[in-house]
Copies of this chain bind each other. A is one copy, B any other.
Amino acid sequence: MKCSVFIATSADGYIATLDGGVDWLHTAGNLDADISNDDMGFHDFMGSVDCMIMGRKCMEMISQMNLTPEQWPYGKMPIYVLSKTLKDAPYNLQGKVEMYSGEIKLLIRTFEEKGYKSAYIDGGFTITSFLNHGLINEIILTKIPVLLGEGTPLFGNVNKKLKLEKTEVKSFKNDFYQVKYGVNYL
């Protein structure tokens, strides 16, 4: 199964401030630029995946957003949340996500047996873990033009030897840019 990352980081590589905050995402960049018709590739990316695996913190952040059904960005995709400790999803995500405490490779096999072909992998710890298992095939990073100085880094201690390749970059009118990589494990 193809596994892809689509995530935003600060220019210095953080996905959140130390207290988990992501408000800086909404105040960064050129706010005068009209990007109302540009979702920076999210719709196209969502069309390329058919299931999702995220970490617990990522789920908790989504839960705190208290999204209405109209705001829910993940359609009807099955979503598994990795957690060794949490048994039940928060009340407002029940029926939308499944908790999973088992092995990652077993989860991938289960998805494959059900016919899923392309997974959206989200959350810093989960992404690093997938990289160390040699499972991420594609990384799309939206880089936000701000330096946080400290926070939760996107990439933790990746110890798998790999090359990023087929680099593609594009910038947006609001001073954000996006880089897309394939991943080649050595």
Interface residues of chain A, those whose CB is within 8 Å of chain B, are 11-13, 28-30, 131, 143, 145-150, 153-159, 162-172, 175-177, 179, 181
Beyond A28-B163, A164-B175, 18 extra complex contacts between A and B, CB < 8 Å: A11-B164, A12-B154, A12-B158, A145-B163, A145-B167, A146-B162, A147-B158, A147-B162, A147-B164, A149-B155, A149-B157, A149-B158, A167-B172, A167-B175, A167-B177, A169-B170, A169-B171, A169-B177
Complex formed: what's the CA distance from A32 to B154 in Å? 29
Q: How many copies does the complex hold?
A: 2
Q: How far is the CA of A148 from the CA of B155 in the complex (A)?
A: 9
A38 to chain B, nearest CB (A): 14
Give A176's nearest chain B residue, CB to CB: B167
The answer on a CB contact under 8 Å between B150 and A181 is: no
Instruction: Name which of A148, A149, A170 has the most chain B CB atoms within 10 A of its CB.
Output: A149
How distant is A123 from chain B, measured CB to nearest CB, in Å?
16
Closest Cβ of chain B to A158, distance in Å, is: 4
Instruction: List 12 contacting pairs A-B, 8 Å CB cutoff, sorted by A.
Output: A11-B155, A11-B181, A12-B13, A12-B154, A13-B153, A29-B163, A145-B181, A146-B162, A163-B175, A164-B175, A167-B175, A169-B179
Q: Which residues of chain B have C-beta atoms less than 8 A from A145's C-beta?
A: 163-165, 167, 181
Question: What are the residues of chain B within 8 A of A148 when measuring CB–CB?
Answer: 158
Shortest CB-to-CB span from A23 to chain B, Å, is 14
Q: Which residues of B contact A171 (CB under 8 A)?
A: 167-169
Chain B residues, Cβ within 8 Å of A167: 145, 171-172, 175-177
Contact residues in B for A158 (Cβ distance below 8 Å)? 12, 147-149
Determine the chain B residues whose CB is within 8 A of the CB of A153 once the complex forms.
12-13
| Chain B proximity of A135: nearest CB distance (Å) | 14
